[in-house]
């Protein structure tokens, strides 16, 4: 009897270690194709100011998974997450302004807006943003046309192992 009581006490005291937090559960739901469940789990977390939840919920809105597609709602969520330091949200904002259909309509110069968000994420070390910012400098899109600046950002991305940045560098700086 005493052993059973001890085992039950031990199990109850460690139960929280086995319980999963809502963010982890939401991530599992997304990975297993249960986006509607993920939305239910992420919404209160995002409303409470969790930047990871805001980013993930923004992705679901952007892609129309588990909720109707809503690019503007995605941007609202990503801006909140970006304000809290989410480099993934900053990167997605840059991509939304560059490639999105609705985002481009809400700012006077979507290319410049994309470059601004890519720059913020790139400056914080986001390799994909560094690569995309380098591409913008190569094209002179939203920023000045500058091969040296493009190469600088591509080098940063390549140093983090970004394969496309490495290929681009071979073209921008042949022989280096």
31-77 pLDDT per residue, tens: 999 999 999 999 999 999 999 999 999 999 999 999 999 999 999 99
Q: Are residues 130 and 75 in the same domain?
A: no
Domain count, the chain: 2
Distance CA 27, CA 148 (A): 40
What mean pLDDT is reported for the chain?
90
Q: Is residue 24 part of a domain?
A: yes
Examine the domain organization and report whether 62 and 102 are in the same domain: no
Q: Of the residues 58, 85, 112, which one is the last residue of a structural domain? A: 85
| Residue 138 near residue 117 (C-beta atoms within 8 A) | no
User: Which has the higher per-residue pLDDT, 173 or 32?
Assistant: 32
Q: Which residue has the higher pLDDT, 16 or 123?
A: 123
What average pLDDT does this structure show over 93-106? 92
CA dist list (Å): 28 to 38, 40, 56, 162: 8, 13, 12, 27
Residue 152: domain span: 87-176
Domain end among 85, 109, 142: 85
- Does residue 48 sit in the same domain as residue 131? no
Cα-Cα end-to-end distance for the chain: 75
Residues 159 and 126 in one domain: yes
Q: Select from 44, 63, 85 the last residue of a domain.
A: 85
Q: What is the pTM of this model?
A: 0.86
pLDDT of residue 4: 42
- Per-residue confidence (pLDDT) for residue 173, from 0 to 100: 85
- 36: Cβ contacts below 8 Å, ≥ 6 apart: 66, 67
Q: Is residue 144 part of a domain?
A: yes
Task: Give the least confident one: 3-12, 42-51, 81-90.
Answer: 3-12
pLDDT at 78: 98
DSSP code, position 174: T
Is residue 79 domain-resident?
yes
Is 8 a member of any domain? no
Element (H, E) at 163: helix 163-172
Check residue 24 and give its pLDDT: 95
Assess whether 151 and 117 both reside in one domain: yes
140 and 92 part of one domain: yes
Any idea what the CATH number is for the domain that residue 32 is in? 1.25.40
Could you read off the pLDDT of 127-164 as tens digits, one per residue? 999 999 999 999 999 999 999 999 999 999 999 999 99
């Amino acid at each position: 009897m005493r052993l059973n009581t001890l085992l039950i006490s031990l199990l109850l005291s460690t139960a929280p270690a086995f319980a999963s937090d809502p963010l982890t559960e939401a991530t599992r739901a997304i990975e297993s194709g249960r986006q509607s469940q993920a939305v239910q789990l992420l919404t209160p977390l995002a409303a409470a100011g969790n930047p990871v939840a805001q980013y993930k919920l923004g992705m679901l809105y952007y892609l129309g998974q588990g909720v109707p597609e809503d690019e503007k709602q995605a941007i609202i969520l990503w801006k909140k997450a970006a304000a809290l330091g989410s480099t993934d949200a900053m990167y997605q904002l840059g991509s939304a302004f560059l490639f999105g259909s609705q985002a481009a309509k809400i700012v006077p110069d979507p290319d410049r807006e994309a470059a601004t968000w890519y720059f913020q994420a790139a400056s914080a070390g986001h390799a994909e943003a560094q690569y995309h910012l380098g591409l913008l400098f190569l094209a002179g899109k939203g920023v000045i046309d500058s091969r040296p600046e493009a190469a600088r950002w591509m080098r940063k991305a390549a140093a983090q192992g970004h394969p496309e940045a490495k290929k681009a560098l071979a073209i921008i700086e042949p022989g280096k």
